[in-house]
Structure 1
């Protein structure tokens, strides 16, 4: 149950960031539902009557007693904080005590509320100053119902300057979705003009809510990860504490880049301690960490929720609490990038184990060694480790090479089913990450001679570190080259490709693509297994650097349904 409501002392009021809190219908909804969440609500019903400028928010929270209802709409009255020190340990969504008082000045406000263990509730109406004008008993379910009527009725010019109703309702929907993502355990029902508009079903985590907001995205298209990290100020000053008040968590829901992405960066969302906020630095970290996993001009689907100790955040920056000061920002950027890298890896945490993996082996044994299949069940000794790393730790999640289809796709078995891995782009991903980690230019002897290079092409080669010298009329000598291209016969073609533009990262992608094995190349089972081991160790194994998916998943459950293998012994045989 919330603490009793008191009026804040003047010294605290003067420290609080003041400003317009209620400036739209969406702002009213935001302030009221945040109060509901602070009251512990698990079900919230929002109703908006657009023609009457009326909003109602009902919840099943803890409710309020009469003395708190009498104090609730007075300026700077709140149950969330008491003194100036509390501003540095905010754990609630609201704390300023301004919203309800502002509503009494802009609209007609009434509240019905009942405590869970009491027999009756109270219906209270407020005047323009926030004082109670009428209070009567009422029979309602435990919880609170707040009704705001004739919003901005006393400032008609302001009402006329607001966006069209359709835009305002879109803002209301966006506001509710953002809040719901941060509180997935809450069920929402939203009405517009006496007709049900949309609902949001509660879920275990935010991963189960995103498909309700984004069309064509399924739960299986999303990877969820929760990482516990120490607070930066505990790393050197004191041992890491198990106290829940000092733990930090990074909760990440990331759209798998081979399955879903967006044309705009409109679903890169960041929340801190239960509230969606604007943190451009963290958002840019997300975009950078996923840049070479998506197709050109595509953006990730990502919801990041940081849960940190209250004293690491200063909420007192913006009246609507949409902007914050986050201490040790560089540290959190680093941890977020590491969490995204972990979520994109292939391992036992990101790929669920199947309880029926033996079925897959039986299915594979029934295959025939015909047509375009290079088939063998024998893996040569040492094929499951990379050359020179026989003593290294095995891959975190073993993929077993089974066959090669049309000298292009590697049939791969894992406990959850089958994958078809496209060998060229899998190798391209391996080589690209090797280049990023160890970009090396080696001397050429003799030099490669290129002709008819434009000034822009010569400038581009120099930009990525290639040494180029004038060698005669319309001829230039190349004195060094990326090490990976050194032994290739098409070095000149590769250099021309590098000269066509882009930054160093683009050049590394081009080199990886040029150096990767070609489709149509026949591989032995040992070579296939080595490639799989290298590929599954990469940081971003789901897509190539151009953003193309690397593998097609044929999960065991789907295979079972297709081959109708859900049967009872005897019955399916006519016994």
Structure 2
């Protein structure tokens, strides 16, 4: 239940640098739905009439009593904070609680509300400045309805300068979607011009909401972790009266299944509000580097729940960008969480994450077999959680075309491409222990450009002139030392970019080639090494390493669920 609305002390008013920023219809929607969430709403309906500059937000929250309604829109009255100390530990979404007063300066404001367990509701109309001009009993279900009309009517020039209606609608949709991700327990219904526009259903976690927003992403493409971590204050034996633990909730698109052309789906939220945190966003990009194809970006939603007094909201007037205390600590925890999410472990095996690929594979096989497959039998799309506490083990069974390792596990079969699996193993070894060793005798390279020579020196390789258009290479990455084609490998390194690119090139050059015959023992060693890597799902170039053929999909294809007599027409 929200606390009562009251007038702020003078010293608090002086500390507030600016009122709520109401600069668009999207901002109106944001402020009103945040108030609904603060009231404990689990169902919010937003209705828009863009041509008439009208907005209506209806919720099933706790409602507002009449005495509070009479003060709700007066300047410097709020239920969110009480004194100056509260400015540094704000926990409400409505922030300082002055949005309603701001709206009375820009539009006509009307509120209908009925608190739970009361017999009647009230309708209150406000004048400019927030004074009540009309208060009448109203028939209304428990909850609140806020009506805003003639928005910016007193600023006609400002209206003309706003974007086109289509752009404003897009901004509203984005605003609601971002808030919905932070509050997955809420059901949303959005109307435009008396027609339903879109809905977002409540889900157990943010992972169930994201596919409703990004339609091309499936639930099985996402990995979710919720981790309780010690609060940074606790590490320094500092007493924190508000929280002793913090939480990190991560929803990550698995890199072998979904990614983006632009970094437009790296979303960060703190304490229920989507914010800009450039430092954490860069941490996410760094942690997912070398798991995605070139020029591709991750799908990631990160929600941090921290003690409110560790957030400074004064980085941006609209609370869109914040300062986060103990930033280094959180960057480390985010990197560790992403690394954990990308691992293959018993918690995600057996998995039905590759069912779309399995379906395509079965379809291709079916076209050459002459066997008709019932299209109505679809593999399950939910991830099956495995409670087996024993380490997960892949068993090498065979090799296909000297390229793919067939690996068995309790849930079915995997096909693992040997070259890129080995490339992932070698790349992580190189990152952990990049070592250059003397080269005897030296390798002589011809006709190197200035750019190529500079690139070799950039990654630590010693190069000396050895005659006209000839250069002697004095050291080499240890992994290439025994290779017969080390001259070709050095030329490849000379065309690369930074050290990380060079390490990828060395790993690719050193990995076993497709077409190489392996014994069962060699296959098993490679599988064991690969499973222990930090990012086993993709190679450093972003290619998927394995294809999962789950037992459930195979049994459906071979119709093992049939009764034998019926399947033979008996």
Deviation, 1:501, is 2.9
Tell me, in whole angstroms, the C-alpha distance in 1 between the residues paired with 2:227 and 2:161: 45
Q: Deviations over 1:228-281 (max 9, x none)?
A: 111122113169x9x983321110000000000000000000000000001000
3-state SS of 2:346 partner: coil
Partner of 1:255: 253
Partner of 2:38: 38
Q: Deviations over 1:333-355 (max 9, x none)?
A: 1110111011001111233479x
Deviation, 1:315, is 2.3
Find 1:308's aligned residue among 288, 306, 309. 306
1:530 equivalent in alignment to 2:528: no
Partner of 2:483: 488
Q: How does 1:142-153 map to 2 (within 5 A)?
A: 142-153=142-153
Aligned pair in 2 of structure 1 residues 71, 498: CA closer, same or farther (>3 Å)?
A: same
Partner of 2:180: 180
Q: Deviations over 1:540-570 (max 9, x none)?
A: 1110001111011122222222122223576
Q: How does 1:354-373 map to 2 (within 5 A)?
A: none
Partner of 1:550: 545
Q: How does 1:11-410 map to 2 (within 5 A)?
A: 11-19=11-19, 21-237=21-237, 245-352=243-350, 396-410=391-405
457-466 or 51-60, which deviates more = 457-466
Tell me, in whole angstroms, the C-alpha distance in 1 between the residues paired with 2:466 and 2:314: 65
Unaligned runs of 5+ in 1: 355-393
Aligned pair in 2 of structure 1 residues 512, 56: CA closer, same or farther (>3 Å)?
A: same
Deviation, 1:20, is 5.4
Tell me, in whole angstroms, the C-alpha distance in 2 between the residues paired with 1:488 and 1:34: 63
Tell me, in whole angstroms, the C-alpha distance in 2 between the residues paired with 1:170 and 1:337: 32
Find 1:539's aligned residue among 520, 534, 537. 534
Aligned pair in 2 of structure 1 residues 416, 78: CA closer, same or farther (>3 Å)?
A: farther
Tell me, in whole angstroms, the C-alpha distance in 1 between the residues paired with 2:242 and 2:400: 52
Instruction: Give TM-score scaled by structure 1 length.
Output: 0.90
Tell me, in whole angstroms, the C-alpha distance in 2 between the residues paired with 1:419 and 1:349: 17
Partner of 1:364: none
Partner of 2:555: 560
Does the 8 Å contact 1:395/1:533 carry over to 2?
no
Q: Deviations over 1:474-527 (max 9, x none)?
A: 111111100000111000000000011301100000000000000011111111
559-568 or 102-111, which deviates more = 559-568
Tell me, in whole angstroms, the C-alpha distance in 1 between the residues paired with 2:308 and 2:562: 55
Tell me, in whole angstroms, the C-alpha distance in 2 between the residues paired with 1:538 and 1:108: 60
Partner of 2:380: none
Tell me, in whole angstroms, the C-alpha distance in 2 between the residues paired with 1:317 and 1:296: 33
Partner of 2:364: none
3-state SS of 1:14 partner: helix
Deviation, 1:94, is 1.4
3-state SS of 1:479 partner: strand
Does the 8 Å contact 2:313/2:322 carry over to 1?
yes
Deviation, 1:396, is 3.9
Does the 8 Å contact 1:444/1:480 carry over to 2?
yes
Aligned pair in 2 of structure 1 residues 297, 403: CA closer, same or farther (>3 Å)?
A: same
Deviation, 1:316, is 3.8
Partner of 1:452: 447
Aligned pair in 2 of structure 1 residues 549, 48: CA closer, same or farther (>3 Å)?
A: same
Partner of 1:372: none
1:441 equivalent in alignment to 2:439: no
Tell me, in whole angstroms, the C-alpha distance in 2 between the residues paired with 1:100 and 1:68: 12
Q: Deviations over 1:458-489 (max 9, x none)?
A: 11111111111111121111111000001110
3-state SS of 2:224 partner: strand
Tell me, in whole angstroms, the C-alpha distance in 2 between the residues paired with 1:260 and 1:353: 16
Tell me, in whole angstroms, the C-alpha distance in 1 between the residues paired with 2:562 and 2:140: 52
Does the 8 Å contact 2:20/2:98 carry over to 1?
no
Tell me, in whole angstroms, the C-alpha distance in 1 between the residues paired with 2:5 and 2:231: 32
Tell me, in whole angstroms, the C-alpha distance in 1 between the residues paired with 2:161 and 2:223: 43
3-state SS of 1:439 partner: coil
Deviation, 1:328, is 0.7
3-state SS of 2:416 partner: strand
In the comparison of the two structures, how many residue pairs are matched?
A: 534
Partner of 2:472: 477
Does the 8 Å contact 1:395/1:536 carry over to 2?
no
Tell me, in whole angstroms, the C-alpha distance in 2 between the residues paired with 1:345 and 1:8: 51
Unaligned runs of 5+ in 2: 353-388
CA RMSD of aligned residues (A): 1.7
Tell me, in whole angstroms, the C-alpha distance in 2 between the residues paired with 1:285 and 1:539: 16
3-state SS of 1:450 partner: strand
Tell me, in whole angstroms, the C-alpha distance in 2 between the residues paired with 1:320 and 1:77: 19
Does the 8 Å contact 1:17/1:318 carry over to 2?
no
Tell me, in whole angstroms, the C-alpha distance in 1 between the residues paired with 2:105 and 2:351: 59
Moved over 4 A (4+): 568-575
Deviation, 1:97, is 2.5
Does the 8 Å contact 2:426/2:511 carry over to 1?
yes
Instruction: Give TM-score scaled by structure 2 length.
Output: 0.91
